């Protein structure tokens, strides 16, 4: 039986990954929400932890070619994005344009520095760019926290995302229908449940907020939970096709990606919907 055939049938490992991912989402999202209410420094620390683990999980879980450069660029881009937004102290993502612009020559230089081991260049280049983009996206929460009702908006976005991811993994665990692909145990039903519960979580956060009504909170929650659920499906395809290095806890890296990558990726969506809601 081939490696891919073995992965096509969800077994004990898939169940374990989904349970761990659901538990991780149920802990990480409230933790980031509490950090948002505690202040900018705790939020910065929470985002930094999310990004650091994301870099390690992406490089280790996907078997990224050029892993040392991937680690350095991923960490450098995420740290630079955090530093720029923290120093500007404004509800604007304009500072990230420079960070993303400098990422382009950095990834090209990385490929040139790989020398004689420069194989799977396209895979390495795209993987590093995706990692840098996700790390930059996570920094968007810092800018959103400076808007009116900023801490509530960040909290609503991350809690809705966490609720959606937790519910989605539990639903896929028992009823992954109708599947997006036979080999990947993710179903459309779980996506719908994630969006519905995310909307409920966002609406609940709007209660008592002077500049955020229930409908806007529901839209914020539904949008972030929906995007996170779609990214999680993408991670499911990635987990099926990836060839991670034979690390003892390599499966844990892919499990973290099921939570960390969606939570980071919805940052710009939360930023746009949040500013629209209070604008």
- The per-residue pLDDT for 119 is 83
Q: Give the mean model confidence (pLDDT) for residues 253-261.
A: 95
Give the total number of structural domains in the chain: 1
What does the pLDDT read at residue 63?
86
Q: How confident is the model at residue 181 (pLDDT cuts 50, 70, 90)?
A: confident
Q: What's the predicted TM-score (pTM) here?
A: 0.92
Share of the chain above pLDDT 70, in %: 94
Mean pLDDT, to the nearest integer, of 103-115?
92
| pLDDT at residue 243, rounded to an integer | 61
| pLDDT score at 10 | 45
pLDDT at 245: 54
Pick from 55, 20, 38: which is nearest to 138 by CA?
55
Q: Is pLDDT above 70 for 106?
A: yes
Average pLDDT, the chain: 91
Identify the helix (H) or strand (E) that includes residue 258. helix 250-265
- Residue 270's pLDDT is what? 97
The residue-averaged pLDDT of 178-199 equals 94
Question: Percentage of residues in the chain with pLDDT exceeding 90?
Answer: 74
For residue 175, what are the domain limits?
3-278
d(CA 279, CA 264): 23
Model pLDDT for residues 26-41, shown as the tens digit of each residue? 999 999 999 999 999 9
Whether the predicted pLDDT of 244 surpasses 80: no
- Model confidence pLDDT, tens digit, residues 65-92: 899 999 999 999 999 999 999 999 889 9
Higher local confidence (pLDDT), 194 or 238: 194
Cβ atoms of 176 and 15 within 8 Å: the answer is no
Helix runs in 89-212, H state only: 95-113, 121-138, 140-144, 150-174, 188-206
- Phi first, then psi: what are they for 180, rounded to 5°? -70, -35
Token representation of residue 147:
């808007």
pLDDT for residue 114: 85
**More confident site: 209 or 196:** 196
């Amino acid at each position: 039986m081939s490696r891919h055939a073995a992965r096509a049938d969800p077994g004990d490992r898939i169940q374990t990954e989904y349970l761990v991912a659901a538990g991780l989402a149920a802990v990480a999202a409230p933790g980031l929400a509490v950090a948002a209410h505690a202040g900018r420094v705790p939020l910065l620390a929470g985002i930094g932890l999310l990004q650091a683990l994301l870099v390690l999980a992406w490089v280790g879980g996907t078997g990224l070619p050029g892993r040392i450069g991937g680690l350095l660029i991923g960490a450098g881009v995420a740290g630079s994005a955090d530093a720029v937004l923290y120093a500007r102290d404004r509800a604007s993502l304009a500072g990230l344009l420079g960070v993303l612009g400098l990422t382009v020559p950095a990834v090209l230089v990385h490929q040139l520095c790989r020398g004689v081991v420069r194989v799977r260049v396209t895979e390495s280049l795209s993987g590093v760019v995706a990692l840098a983009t996700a790390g930059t996206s996570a920094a968007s929460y810092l800018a959103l926290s400076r808007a009116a009702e900023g801490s509530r908006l960040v909290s609503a976005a991350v809690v809705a995302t966490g609720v959606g991811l937790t519910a989605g993994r539990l639903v896929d665990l028992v009823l992954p229908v109708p599947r997006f692909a036979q080999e990947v145990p993710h179903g459309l039903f779980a996506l719908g449940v994630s969006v519905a519960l995310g909307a409920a979580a966002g609406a609940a956060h709007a209660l008592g907020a002077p500049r955020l009504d229930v409908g806007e909170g529901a839209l914020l929650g539904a949008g972030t939970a929906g995007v996170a659920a779609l990214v999680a499906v993408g991670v499911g395809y990635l987990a099926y096709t990836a060839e991670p290095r034979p690390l003892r806890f390599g499966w844990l890296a892919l499990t973290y990606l099921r939570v960390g990558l969606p939570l980071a990726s919805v940052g710009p969506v939360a930023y746009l919907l949040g500013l629209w809601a209070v604008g």
